[in-house]
């Protein structure tokens, strides 16, 4: 039993290490290519996901796999700098929920929003002539 736990710990540490390196690579790509995303003010979670590139949600899931609950402050800062304020709260809560690190929740949400269509998630705002 002790050998199993030791091997399990080493495999888990290896997965977390590889995920951490992949998260750093994705962050560099995001910084170089994306910089800032223009999302309408007051956009909710689903509408913000429509404007979000896939690499950003992939980064959030890989970061969560690598750092578990410690990924919350990093995700908050990155999403704030990218202008994705609608994703900050959900990404932070998802980081704190135990045993969800292996589930790519942000990626699944991104795919779900894309499959269900944008008309369903974009709130119909009244006409504003100043826009």
Query: Which of 50-54, 66-70, 99-103, 111-115 is the least confident region?
Result: 99-103
For residue 126, what pLDDT is reported?
A: 52
User: pTM score > 0.85 for this model?
Assistant: no
Q: Tokens 């896939």 correspond to what residue?
A: 54
**CB-based contacts of 105, cutoff 8 Å, min separation 6:** 61, 94
Grade residue 125 by pLDDT with cuts at 50, 70 and 90: low
- What CA–CA distances, in Å, run from 68 to 12, 55, 102, 113? 12, 19, 10, 25
For residue 63, what pLDDT is reported?
A: 93
Phi and psi at 129, nearest 5°, equal: -65, -15
């Amino acid at each position: 039993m002790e050998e199993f736990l030791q091997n399990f710990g080493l495999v888990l540490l290896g997965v977390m290490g590889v995920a951490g390196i992949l998260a750093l690579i994705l962050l560099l790509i995001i910084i170089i290519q994306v910089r800032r995303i223009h999302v309408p003010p007051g956009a909710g979670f689903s509408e913000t996901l429509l404007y979000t590139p896939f690499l950003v949600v992939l980064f959030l899931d890989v970061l969560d796999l690598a750092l578990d609950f410690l990924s919350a402050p990093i995700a908050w800062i990155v999403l704030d700098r990218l202008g994705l304020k609608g994703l900050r709260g959900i990404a932070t809560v998802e980081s704190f929920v135990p045993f969800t690190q292996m589930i790519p929740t942000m990626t699944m949400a991104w795919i779900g929003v894309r499959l269900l269509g944008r008309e369903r998630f974009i709130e119909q705002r009244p006409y504003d002539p100043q826009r």
